[in-house]
Amino acid sequence: CVSVCVCVCVCHLARLPFVAMAERYAIRTGAPAEGARVPELVKKRIASDAALAEEKEKALVAKEKLLAEQREALKKRTAEYEKEYADHKQQLIDLRREAKLGGNFFVEPEAKLLFVIRIVGIIKLAPKPRKVLQLLRLRQLHNGVFLKVNKPILQMLKLVQPYVTYGYPSLKTVRELLYKRGYAKVNKQRIPISDNSVISSSLGEKQGLHGMEDLVHEIYTVGPNFKQANNFLWPFKLSAP
């Protein structure tokens, strides 16, 4: 009875698509002794194992090819991002020089990104500021989050101004925060971003973000997928000054 169940399960697995599961599971490779009588169920199991092993090999090759393509594409996008940052920086320098030569004042462009840190605990905290801090995902002392600069966010920050500190992060700050303190929220769990696959599995299909530099660019430039990218990040847990 047990042998029949095992054989049925193996045969059922053999019909499943290999991309979803084959490359994750170990497959038995043992063969019966030469000249030994082999029962019919064992023959079926051996045939199923061979089919699964072939599918697993195909899945591994397909996955390696996909990862190689994603790495190459990420390298190209990273070079494009660096050029974009350098061009923007040089453009600001040129505009400042031009204004200075003409005897005018150069008005710096308005910041689009905020980084907010909670500096007060929960003792003697009124209900309204407590609720606003929860909406901003600042539930613990020394938590930090990225926020998009707009009118509702600025009004919420006015309500909790005694309890937070905030500023406009540079590219270097954003990059260091994500690389050194970045954690992802995957299935409501705090997962370290130790590999680009963590980002790609959550943001790759819909948002087109497959690596850390994609995430840095989306956060720093406040791109069209900023909301999804920011919600993917767990609130930063910072050390006390």
Distance CA 229, CA 200 (A): 11
Q: Which candidate, 140, 141, 142, 136, places its Cα nearest to that of 154?
A: 136
Residue 81 C-beta-side C-alpha neighbours within 13 Å = 20
Q: What is the pLDDT of residues 42-90, one digit of tens each?
A: 778 888 888 888 888 888 888 888 888 888 989 999 999 999 999 999 9
Residue 140: count of CB within 10 angstroms of its CB: 12
Contact 211, 199 (CB under 8 A): yes
Tell me the residue type at 181: R
pTM: 0.76
The 10s digit of each residue's pLDDT in 130-178 is 999 999 999 999 999 999 999 999 999 999 999 999 999 999 999 999 9
Note the pLDDT of residue 63: 85
Stretch 185-204: mean pLDDT, rounded?
Answer: 92
Rounded CA separation 7/24 (Å): 20
Pairing of strands 143-148, 236-237: antiparallel
